[in-house]
Structure 1
Amino acid sequence: MARFGIDQSENGRLDIRMASIGQEIEAYFIPSVSPAEGAPAAARADAGVKLLGLVRGSGELRIYPINTLYGTSGYLGPKYDQIRTLVVEISAIDPYFEESELETVLEVLPAGFVKDYAYGLGLLKDCNRIIRLIEKHTACDEIAFTSADESAVEGRVFRLGMSRFAEMWSEIRRINDRGNRAAGRVKDAFVHNDLATVLGLVSMDFSLGRHPVSRVIAKAADGVEELNDQERDALIATLTSESAGLAKARPEKFQKLHREIELVSLDHLIASYEESLEKGENEQYWQTFFDNNAFALQQVFGAPMVSVQSQATVGGGSLAGGGDKIADYLFKNSLTNNVALVEIKKPTTRLLDTREHRTGVYGPSKELNGAVTQVLDQAYQLTSNLATLKHNSRRWDLESYAISCFVVAGRTPPPDEPSKQKSFELYRANSRSVTIVTYDEILERLRLLRNFLAPTDSGTAEG
């Protein structure tokens, strides 16, 4: 068996041998420092520590991951618990290369692989989670990295397409980059706040970042651990069952917790509303949105109102029945039982004509006029049929003293169009029987409420 000794690092060298079959080339690791006599590593060294195997002309490299770091546990033994072989298809290998050029093969290994045998060949540390996952859930002792786009278990071989592996490695690197940036923001904020008083600076909050992974990492770096779904359910159940006791035993802290929960809920509602508004969702979407978030729709009122019925029939029969006279929403005053009707249109509904009626004057659009007339007709029908509706629906807590009518439609004309702003305000201010509210006005009311509820610096100090 021919030998070609190659000096490399301080840990050891490669001993490249031609196998007896004449085509397979093998590379063994020869440690620079012989293991202590009688140690397990000594027996492994005597048996031969094979790192590589290559059949010349096949383009298939067999890697045997071995721990080559002297002084560590399992020295010269398998690098992984179960996986013993990594097989890599390398088309760039010259079928006529010389034995002494075997090290050049390592240079063409794909990204994500260890290319310096002194550190034990195999996958880079961050890719070892792939190894651990395969070992945990399969009986495989070999991973074959193939040119096909695949991932499959075949007996004791796990087949993984090289393109799939490259995508995984790229995403792992991106996660690392996001983590480093997120941790850096937390560190910068910590140093800034720790020295803020001395330097006469105002304290700062670190940015969570926009990417979901970045947000999780930033919170973790600040000591905030994200709960899983099971832990969240358990926490909610505990708060629900213990809320009465907490309110009685710790009223101040319970009140603070209650306020913070409300703020988080309000923040979520505002973010969801903003996103939906920017997407220009249709009328049916907003009907469902307000069904699920009645609090947002309640911002159109100046009195304590509660929802009675969505898609309410006002032309006869029962409130929940079918008919051709249907109001989007029926509300009532929780103190007087006086009813109110809300008709919703799209955020993209035009509020004004596109052409000026006179210089600097715009009339209401056909769509807005139609919505106003529609809700007025619904109010007329409800007044005429309320007694029947109450009887058939078994709802006696409804009164039509003076039905309030609301239209939610469109978006407020922008500041750079003052003539349209003026025309819109003149029109709706003189529409005495119907209150017109735009979608962005609801959003602004939610934001103002959020700012009002947010704790001030003086209010956050613990007593």
Structure 2
Amino acid sequence: MESLPDWLERNPLNGLGFTSQDRFIPTTIAGLARRVVVIIGGGDAPPSFEDDLYVITELYLKQLVRSMRSISSRHQRQARTQKQLFAHNALLTSVDRENFPPRKPKVSAEMIFEMVKIGRVSADIPKAARRNVINLVADNAQAIAKDSPETLYELVSRIETATLQEMISKYEEKLGQDLNETKWQSFFEANTFILSMAFAVPTIFVRATPYVHGKRVTGHGGKYSDFLMRGQGTGNVALIEIKAPGTKLLTPYRSEQQGPSPELTGAITQVLGQRRRLITGWANLKLDDDGTLKDTEVYSPQAVVLIGTLPASKLDREPFETFRQVLKDITVLTFDELLARLKYLHDALTATPIAKAPSDSAPPWQS
């Protein structure tokens, strides 16, 4: 009995083995099968289970017991502190707020750790509590930025990556549906960042369905594009015309030759006309501007047509690619190509440098 570790119960009258405060260890292992034999040995290998034998090293088990007891002690201290704080606010602050101002709880690093991650498993925060967690971080953002800026940068990076992944998922879901142009315009208006990926330079959303030219004295006859963007650096404006993903890109020209479809050439003609009218009427637009066109210029307006999806066969891709590469002052981009750009950005943001793998013996709570 004397050879048993200190953290195991040696007295048979008291249970012999795991104490009541460590009961979660044997009861958890018991979940593997109806009959399990636990062998405690030396070395530093991670736990294993085979043929009803659960093998765990003394070192691993010792660290596990210490960590679980530490959690119990920490929660007892936290509960005592919270009770004192609650009593102060409920009994003293309620009758004399000036002399007994309300006390705010201090959140320890251990509490935050347990709220977010235990053993590499993300916490399932209830929906109603998520806003409180966000507010907690937001209220302490200034202090975090001052003391641990790298922590804040990492948080921002993770939020942006998660937001981008959600955006990609919604985009893929909509591509699987037969949506018309109006539905796609609403989607892009709610997710304008996606449209910026259609350009080679950083671009900012300006306005949806912008008026470009052509109103008569009656107020009718105005010409509108789908979206107006501007370069983040130069302010050069850009027009985007949206067509549905199911729009045909090619049509038979001869028996062995495909040519651009009427829908494709019509969309190109439409946006080029809008571009020309925007240039000729720019002075009047700026004169009557309400601030929407601030920091925008018409140096050489870009025009983009987002239409269809790439042809499935290599034979059809050749005439499509050849046609759009000779176009002047206009870019033709397909919906699946825009999705590929989003995925490429996501992969670049989530890529991590190759690092030395952690030791297999490292307990999960030390991650």
The structural deviation recorded for 1:235 is: 1.5
Q: In the alignment, is the contact (CA less than 8 A) between 1:316 and 1:388 conserved in 2?
A: no
2:53 is matched with: none
The structural deviation recorded for 1:194 is: 6.8
Q: In the alignment, is the contact (CA less than 8 A) between 1:315 and 1:385 conserved in 2?
A: yes
Looking at CA atoms only, which structure, 1 or 2, has the larger radius of gyration? 1
Q: What is the CA deviation profile of residues 49-108 of structure 1, one whole-angstrom value per residue up to 9, with x for unaligned ones? A: xxxxxxxxxxxxxxxxxxxxxxxxxxxxxxxxxxxxxxxxxxxxxxxxxxxxxxxxxxxx
The structural deviation recorded for 1:457 is: 5.6
Aligned counterparts of 1:194 and 1:446: Cα–Cα separation in 2 = 41
1:240 is matched with: 138
- Distance 1:454-1:222 versus aligned 2 partners, 3 A rule: closer
- The SS at the match of 1:244 is helix
Residue identity in the other structure for 1:228 = P
2:183 is matched with: 285
* Aligned pair partner of 1:426 in 304, 322, 331: 322
Alignment gaps of 5+ in structure 1? 1-179, 181-192, 196-218
The answer to whether residue 245 in structure 2 is matched with residue 366 in structure 1 is no
1:453 is matched with: 349
Q: What is the CA deviation profile of residues 420-454 of structure 1, one whole-angstrom value per residue up to 9, with x for unaligned ones? A: 10010000001122100000001111111111111
Q: In the alignment, is the contact (CA less than 8 A) between 1:313 and 1:323 conserved in 2?
A: no
2:228 is matched with: 330
1:399 is matched with: 297
The answer to whether residue 198 in structure 2 is matched with residue 300 in structure 1 is yes
- Distance 1:461-1:341 versus aligned 2 partners, 3 A rule: farther
Q: In the alignment, is the contact (CA less than 8 A) between 1:351 and 1:367 conserved in 2?
A: yes
Aligned counterparts of 1:396 and 1:265: Cα–Cα separation in 2 = 28
Aligned counterparts of 2:239 and 2:286: Cα–Cα separation in 1 = 16
1:377 is matched with: 273
Aligned counterparts of 2:220 and 2:336: Cα–Cα separation in 1 = 32
| TM-score normalised over the length of structure 1 | 0.49
* Aligned pair partner of 1:357 in 254, 266, 276: 254
* Aligned pair partner of 1:269 in 156, 161, 167: 167
The structural deviation recorded for 1:322 is: 7.7
- The SS at the match of 1:308 is strand
- Distance 1:457-1:402 versus aligned 2 partners, 3 A rule: closer
Q: What is the CA deviation profile of residues 209-268 of structure 1, one whole-angstrom value per residue up to 9, with x for unaligned ones? A: xxxxxxxxxx99974332223211112222223223222211222222221111111110
- Distance 1:428-1:389 versus aligned 2 partners, 3 A rule: same
Aligned counterparts of 1:239 and 1:297: Cα–Cα separation in 2 = 30
Residue identity in the other structure for 1:352 = L
Aligned counterparts of 1:304 and 1:333: Cα–Cα separation in 2 = 6
- The SS at the match of 1:340 is strand
The structural deviation recorded for 1:399 is: 1.4
The structural deviation recorded for 1:383 is: 0.7
- C-alpha RMSD of the superposition: 2.8
Structure 2 counterparts to residues 28-427 of structure 1, below 5 A = 223-315=121-213, 324-353=222-251, 355-359=252-256, 361-394=257-290, 395-414=293-312, 417-427=313-323
Q: What is the CA deviation profile of residues 27-58 of structure 1, one whole-angstrom value per residue up to 9, with x for unaligned ones? A: xxxxxxxxxxxxxxxxxxxxxxxxxxxxxxxx
Q: What is the CA deviation profile of residues 302-341 of structure 1, one whole-angstrom value per residue up to 9, with x for unaligned ones? A: 0111111100000157xxx985310101111122111110
Aligned counterparts of 1:316 and 1:460: Cα–Cα separation in 2 = 64
2:19 is matched with: none
Aligned counterparts of 1:220 and 1:348: Cα–Cα separation in 2 = 47
The structural deviation recorded for 1:461 is: 8.5
Q: What is the CA deviation profile of residues 396-419 of structure 1, one whole-angstrom value per residue up to 9, with x for unaligned ones? A: 4221111110000000012xx111
Residue identity in the other structure for 2:254 = H
| TM-score normalised over the length of structure 2 | 0.61
- The SS at the match of 1:289 is helix
Of residues 448-457 and 272-281 in structure 1, the stretch that sits farther from structure 2 once superposed is 448-457
- Distance 1:272-1:396 versus aligned 2 partners, 3 A rule: closer
- The SS at the match of 2:259 is coil
Aligned counterparts of 1:460 and 1:294: Cα–Cα separation in 2 = 39
The structural deviation recorded for 1:342 is: 0.4
The structural deviation recorded for 1:357 is: 2.7
Q: Which runs of 4+ in 1 moved over 6 A?
A: 219-222, 459-463
Aligned counterparts of 2:326 and 2:186: Cα–Cα separation in 1 = 31
Q: In the alignment, is the contact (CA less than 8 A) between 2:214 and 2:222 conserved in 1?
A: no
Aligned counterparts of 1:444 and 1:282: Cα–Cα separation in 2 = 21
- The SS at the match of 2:233 is coil
